[in-house]
Amino acid sequence: MSRLPVPIGLVLCCALALGACGGGDEQPGSNGKPAPEATATAKPAAEAGCEKAPEPESGTAKLAKPKLELDAKTTYVARVVTNCGEFEITLDAKRAPRTGGSFVTLVKEGFYDGLIFHRVVPGFVIQGGDPKGDGSGGPGYSVVEAPPEDLTYGKGVVAMAKTQTERAGTSGSQFFVVTGEDAGLPPEYALLGKVTKGEDVIDRIGVTQVGQDEKPVAPVVIRKIRIEES
């Protein structure tokens, strides 16, 4: 399971034990560096502009590691359709061909369809892609691709979650989208790409009301993801 650094108000909780903040799940946060303090005001899903959706059933996966690597000369765009709207991620085929190849393979197998964003931290990140729905699951394999040394995690950057003990650039299926201006993360999380359309949808999900476990009170569901190549 993977974690990113957490907002200041949660640092003490996670410093005492990862289990107290989600069981040491796959999220940026396990390295103990605090993220910028959240300033956004949480809203109920309906007020935030999200359609009501049922909580999907949790599951597990055991897939073979894909061999696909993206072609740097091709543009790959992931259209992510959620109950809060649609946004697009342009994958960084040049700097992250293996990470992107794994993501594209999962998308084409329908892996993400019906999963949720299980973690929302206003002013920091939104995170999804776990078949268990609690931050502890993945596809049954991992891919390692060192992130660019100069990588910074600004608003709209999409990267992959990893555990505290995994090597830099390790990824499974869980991804996060940075919603703050600067997440303040070290270049340890595998790059996937950047949101190039639908930033308002990211902002909408980013202020969804959550419980103490950072999980949205009302499900934020990934209805489907599709890849367009050009």
Please provide the average confidence, as pLDDT, over all residues in the chain.
Answer: 85
Residue-wise pLDDT tens digits, 182-212: 999 999 999 999 999 999 999 999 999 999 9
As a whole number, mean pLDDT of residues 34-51 equals 59
Query: Which residues make Cβ contacts (< 8 Å) with residue 8, sequence separation at least 6?
Result: 34, 35, 37
Residue 35 has pLDDT above 60, yes or no: no
Cα 198 to Cα 156, 161, 166, 203, 208: the distances in Å are 10, 22, 32, 9, 16
Q: Tell which residue, 142, 163, 116, 174, has the closest CA to residue 63.
A: 142
pTM: 0.84
Specify whether the CB–CB gap between 86 and 80 falls below 8 A: yes
